Amino acid sequence: MTESPAGANDFIRDVVRSDVEQGTYGGRVQTRFPPEPNGYLHIGHAKAIVQNFGVAQDFGGLCNLRLDDTNPDTEETQYVASIKDDIGWLGYHPAVTVHASDYFETLYLWAEHLIDQGLAYVDDQDGDTLSVQRGGYGKPGIESPYRNRPAAESLELLRRMKAGDFPDGSRCLRAKIDMQAENMWLRDPVMYRIRHAVHHNTGDRWCIYPTYDWAHGQSDAIEGVTHSLCTLEFESHRPLYDWFLSKLPLGHTAPKQREFARLELTHTITSKRRLKKLVDDQLVTSWDDPRMPTLRGLRRRGYPSAAIRDFCTSIGATKTNSRHAIEELESFVRRELNTTAQRRMAVLHPLKLTITTWPTDEQGNPVVEHFELSNNPENSEDGTRRVAFSGELFIERDDFAEVPPSKFFRLSPGREVRLRGAYLVTATDVVKDDDGNVVEVLATHDPASKGGNSPDGRKVKSTMHWVSAAHATTAEVALYERLFTAEVPGDETGEPLDDLNPESRTLLTNCKVEAAMAGTAPGEVVQFERLGYFAADAQQALLFHRTVGLRDEWANIKKRNR
Ligand code: ATP
Ligand code: MG
């Protein structure tokens, strides 16, 4: 058994540990991650992945990927490929990849077995009638007139349903349990429905499809799953899960289902259906739009998979649903990137800074100097890089004020600041365009401050980033705000799209980045000093997505809530 990571001791691991100790499954531990291939995985799925694979890892067991493909109408193979890819990116490797549809034959034989035992029957009524007869809480159900038809008749009808003799929705197979049960799921739940549709895996072989409840626990049992971990909304299904398994000739100990809270984040939606709407209605560019909470989106945005894993591990498995602050996840992202991201300089809103005291060489060209700047002060192994400096630079427009407001310590006329790693400079004058906008700042430099040191210990209050105009490369930078303005999207109106932030993306097309940026690998995340972390787009060269800013807002939120 490998050691449990910190924080990964939860009620689920307690159950598993106790089963291992008692030898319930001969010491075996097996879990599965069972997504329905009807969309892309999102941050909520990451929690389920980390739980399922994490439990298996901690107890030396196995975790399968099971594509829960019992619904032919919404499932597509393109999703299957992306699901596999996303799990690999998160750092997990399924023991095997299987499909619920692999088990359709066994499920069918087991259904006939239940009919034989008098535990299932074919009902000739339609869905609407069934739902009326089902009753409600405190309202008993009504037994179907077909409930007590002879087993032989049900068997014959089920075979004809399977053979395609009946239209969609005209009949179904139901378990015969208890129409008076308090638990609604035990009121003769549907096991098979008729659906003449092409399935992405089984083609047109089947025209009856098992329901979730009939497929899930049975698939777990066939596969050898010991602990079937799912989200809280399935807690009320657990008695049915256990009922089916108790009636089948399994030949081994039945798996057990345990439930943990869904992961929800502020300013975020995690319903696949709603995420699909964002894409279909072109409210975002694609499933991997960097604003999407899909694993593809987060990846493109620059979220390291390690940060997502650590976050999911740290929140652990709980029994109550709660919404986590997105800032908490971001602080894991920042923590990880702080140690891994190389430092670079980039100017997002360039303003020209000309050093009037800068020397020229014998041909009359401005001298070019090079500074060795640290790639990552958090990790000396990352080394240094050479950054060119000359008399014409770009600085951030916000870092200059002709008339500085109070507490503004950056550059203004007569004020001295440090250009990071280079020189101390003092602004002397400005050049304006016809409209009176400052288009250039003139400054002098102190040659004795080479390397950015203060020669006589005199204080400068500000250190600013810069790029040399002659050596800079132009880049595009996409800045992101929350996709939803409300903490709980749709909280007020019930419609999350009402809270969509129309200004969640700003594209800056004339950013100036240091020359080293041209060599950034696709997907690599760097820190632009003072600005945040930025991910190089996987496809387009010199397009960077802001992953997160530098300020850790989570620390403040925690303090406020204390
Ligand atoms: P959606 O409602 O968005 O379609 P789902 O629960 O139907 O989500 P599945 O593909 O069936 O999505 O989910 C696969 C697994 O991931 C299930 O075990 C499910 O419980 C889990 N899961 C899905 N969403 C979350 C979430 N937000 N937090 C934790 N686990 C989740
Ligand atoms: Mg589902």
Compute the distance between CA of residue 414 and CA of residue 416 in angstroms, rounded to an integer.
7
Of 31, 38, 45, the one to substitute when testing ligand 1's pocket (max ligand atoms within 8 A of C-beta) is 45
Which residues are CB-neighbours of 139 under 8 A, at least 6 positions away?
none
CA 288 to ligand 1 centroid distance, Å:
18
Q: Quick one: pLDDT at residue 467? A: 98
Q: Quick one: pLDDT at residue 322? A: 83
Compute the distance between CA of residue 463 and CA of residue 449 in angstroms, rounded to an integer.
13
Compute the distance between CA of residue 227 and CA of residue 276 in angstroms, rounded to an integer.
31
Q: Rounded to 5 degrees, what are φ and ψ at 335? A: -60, -45
Catalytic site residue from 195, 262, 274, 352: 262
| Neighbour order of strands in the sheet with 342-344 | 342-344, 525-528, 532-536, 543-548, 473-480, 505-513, 346-347
CA 234 to ligand 1 centroid distance, Å:
11
Q: Quick one: pLDDT at residue 9? A: 80
| Ligand 1 closest atom vs CA 264 | 27
Give which of 297, 295, 304 is closest to 525, Cα–Cα.
304
Ligand 2 ion: nearby residues, β-carbon < 5 Å: 36
Please give the CATH topology (third level) of the domain spanning 11-260: Rossmann fold (3.40.50)
Residue 276: active-site member: no
Q: For 283, which DSSP code? A: S
Average pLDDT over residues 163-192: 97
| Ligand 1 closest atom vs CA 48 | 30
| Ligand 1 closest atom vs CA 231 | 20
Average pLDDT over residues 444-467: 95
Compute the distance between CA of residue 229 and CA of residue 282 in angstroms, rounded to an integer.
34
Residue 36: active-site member: yes
Which residues are CB-neighbours of 341 under 8 A, at least 6 positions away?
376, 525, 526, 527, 533
pLDDT at residue 424 tops 50:
yes
User: What tens digit of pLDDT does each residue of 39-92 get?
Assistant: 999 999 999 999 999 999 999 999 999 999 998 887 678 899 999 999 999 999
Q: Quick one: pLDDT at residue 77? A: 82
Compute the distance between CA of residue 365 and CA of residue 344 in angstroms, rounded to an integer.
26
Determine how many CB atoms are found less than 10 A away from the CB of residue 443.
27
CA 182 to ligand 2 centroid distance, Å:
24
Compute the distance between CA of residue 207 and CA of residue 192 in angstroms, rounded to an integer.
10
By the 8 A CB rule, do 465 and 449 touch? no
Ligand at minimal distance from the CA of 271 is 1
| Ligand 1 closest atom vs CA 233 | 20
Amino acid at 254: A
Please report how the helices 77-90 and 43-58 are oriented relative to each other, as an axis angle in degrees rounded to 10: 60
Q: Quick one: pLDDT at residue 198? A: 92
Which residues lie with the beta carbon below 6 Å from any ligand 1 atom?
34-36, 44-45, 47-48, 68, 230-231, 262-263, 270-272
Confidence of residue 138 (pLDDT cuts 50, 70, 90): confident
The DSSP line for 198-226 is -BTTTBTS-SEEE-HHHHHHHHHHHHT-S
Residue 21: active-site member: no
Q: Quick one: pLDDT at residue 5? A: 45
Query: Which residue ranges does the chain devote to CATH 3.40.50.620?
Result: 11-260
CA 5 to ligand 1 centroid distance, Å:
24
pLDDT at residue 193 tops 60:
yes
Ligand at minimal distance from the CA of 315 is 1
User: What tens digit of pLDDT does each residue of 536-559 get?
Assistant: 999 999 999 999 999 888 888 887
Which protein residue has the closest C-alpha to ligand 1 atom 2?
Answer: 271
Query: Which residue ranges does the chain devote to CATH 2.40.240.10?
Result: 272-342+475-561, 346-465
Percent of the chain beyond pLDDT 70?
98
CA 200 to ligand 1 centroid distance, Å:
20
Which protein residue has the closest C-alpha to ligand 1 atom 10?
Answer: 35
Please give the CATH topology (third level) of the domain spanning 346-465: Ribosomal Protein L25; Chain P (2.40.240)
Ligand at minimal distance from the CA of 234 is 1
pLDDT at residue 161 tops 60:
yes
By the 8 A CB rule, do 92 and 51 touch? no
| Ligand 1 closest atom vs CA 274 | 3
CA 3 to ligand 2 centroid distance, Å:
32
Which protein residue has the closest C-alpha to ligand 1 atom 25?
Answer: 44
Higher pLDDT, 2 or 483: 483
Please give the CATH topology (third level) of the domain spanning 272-342+475-561: Ribosomal Protein L25; Chain P (2.40.240)
Q: Which residue has the tokens 């992405």?
A: 200
Which protein residue has the closest C-alpha to ligand 1 atom 7?
Answer: 36
- Which stretches does DSSP call E strand in 415-548? 416-419, 423-432, 438-445, 463-464, 467-468, 473-480, 505-513, 525-528, 532-536, 543-548
Average pLDDT over residues 150-159: 98
CA 427 to ligand 2 centroid distance, Å:
62
pLDDT at residue 106 tops 70:
yes
Ligand at minimal distance from the CA of 38 is 1
The H-assigned helical ranges of 232-282 are: 238-246, 272-280
Q: For 360, which DSSP code? A: B
Mean pLDDT over the full length of the chain? 95
